[in-house]
Structure 1
């Protein structure tokens, strides 16, 4: 039974919606250089063996739109007092603020601080994922709460690793050569193993795995050193296998895949 909505519930719902809109707007114009240098230009200046192909970053448009749908739904009066939103709302606000901050900092060439922002973003989403895993999902929840958060978290999981490598290059660590390739391989494989573990226990594993595999596919398409490409393929296979195993072992396969 859902309790009566409080003033704090209304404030939280408004904050989630407002920050989702801000995230959508800043994310939409951030790549153009509106806050300094274009993101693609800064990324190219700190390129490493694990940077995905440019087209892979189009996924941000899907993420921002899907999170906005989530924010609109949770702002409906019937949703204000739901325990799912009470448990996750303020963390979503923090995630949106961290995302917008990352864009501004990265465009301003403050790459180290930008990495801090994206780590905050990942931690915020990880908390939301962990809390959502404790709630059963209705059909509406699957597509407007669990799935968008899982999809968002999957991409940010890889983006944080890519950002860490870029931050290392920005700080003067090797970005090319054998050392960079070896580090890239290790980072990609570890990312795959962690993502597989999340897909085994977290909510909406298909959505989560889809964005992780998209990111890893971007590394493959970028045509980096062949060993990095092989590592990315292996990581993707491990993640997909974890999801398939989870779904096949469940009696309620639809819920296991998207719940």
Structure 2
């Protein structure tokens, strides 16, 4: 059965153009910030700091967002209900991301964490709305749903890393038993949330992969042994659970990519 796409309106065009411009803006802001983000992150050392190479995933995220923006701008896409439901939410993520970069690069760590929370909330709303139906084809899965899933996965872990950094920036200890216990508790909570998402939604493959990538980054960064062990176990549990659910599905590709 052929699914009719509503005729795109002027509002659809405006939304799509705004998202595309914001996609370019966040790339430019990230490029101008350069290595400042990494330098600030390393200067606020916490038990949950990931290895430098783990942050390279931002390049993939920005590329994925640009691909989505181009995809959503196509005449055959602009009028679709799915873009109307999530387009402005994704525009909000681009604004929050650009502001987060500026705040963090200027060492406004607490402000940056608040912006990161706003970013994750907007991504979570978008992911939830996408989960209400399936993609119309593989192109949508790869150009739209997969990039968003990766973005949410990494940002969710980044929020937890940023929470530790914000605590240290306001005077909480960075070393000793207390921050290690705090880090382990945050990892346990994060893992529980991630497993809940994997168990209750479709299109979680990129989400799970990004979370595992971030956790492995923590393991590889010579953190306290207890934190390293918990991060390693969390990465393994998330990877196994995601693989098991996909492997048991009668439609594994649809479950994995949405």
Asked if TM exceeds 0.5, the reply is: yes
- 4+ residue runs of structure 1 moved beyond 6 angstroms? none
Give the equivalent residue in structure 2 for 1:219: 218
Listed as ranges, the matches of 1:43-58 within 5 Å are 43-58=41-56
Contact between 1:146 and 1:204, CA under 8 Å: does it hold in 2?
yes
**Residues in 2 aligned to 1:30 and 1:107: alpha-carbon distance in whole angstroms:** 7
Alpha-carbon distance, 1:242 to partner: 2.3
RMSD: 1.1
Counterpart secondary structure, 1:115 = helix
Q: Which consecutive residues of structure 2, in runs of 5 or more, have no partner in the other structure?
A: none
2:65 to 58, 64, 67: 67
Deviation per residue, 1:68-115 (Å, 9 max, x gap):
001011011111101111111000000000000000011112111111
1:23 matches 2:26: yes
Alpha-carbon distance, 1:39 to partner: 1.6
Listed as ranges, the matches of 1:6-45 within 5 Å are 6-32=9-35, 38-45=36-43
Alpha-carbon distance, 1:31 to partner: 3.0
**Residues in 1 aligned to 2:175 and 2:243: alpha-carbon distance in whole angstroms:** 36
Give the equivalent residue in structure 1 for 2:154: 155
Listed as ranges, the matches of 1:76-87 within 5 Å are 76-87=74-85
What number of residue pairs does the alignment pair up?
Answer: 254
Alpha-carbon distance, 1:134 to partner: 0.8
Contact between 1:101 and 1:117, CA under 8 Å: does it hold in 2?
yes
**Residues in 1 aligned to 2:37 and 2:255: alpha-carbon distance in whole angstroms:** 37
Contact between 2:160 and 2:186, CA under 8 Å: does it hold in 1?
yes
Deviation per residue, 1:203-238 (Å, 9 max, x gap):
422111111000000000001011111110111122
Give the equivalent residue in structure 2 for 1:117: 115
Give the equivalent residue in structure 2 for 1:235: 234
Counterpart secondary structure, 1:4 = coil
Out of 151-160 and 193-202, give the one that drifted further: 193-202
**Residues in 1 aligned to 2:238 and 2:81: alpha-carbon distance in whole angstroms:** 30
Q: Structure 1 length normalisation: TM-score?
A: 0.95
Deviation per residue, 1:110-140 (Å, 9 max, x gap):
1111111100000000000000001211211
Contact between 1:52 and 1:220, CA under 8 Å: does it hold in 2?
yes
Give the equivalent residue in structure 2 for 1:206: 205
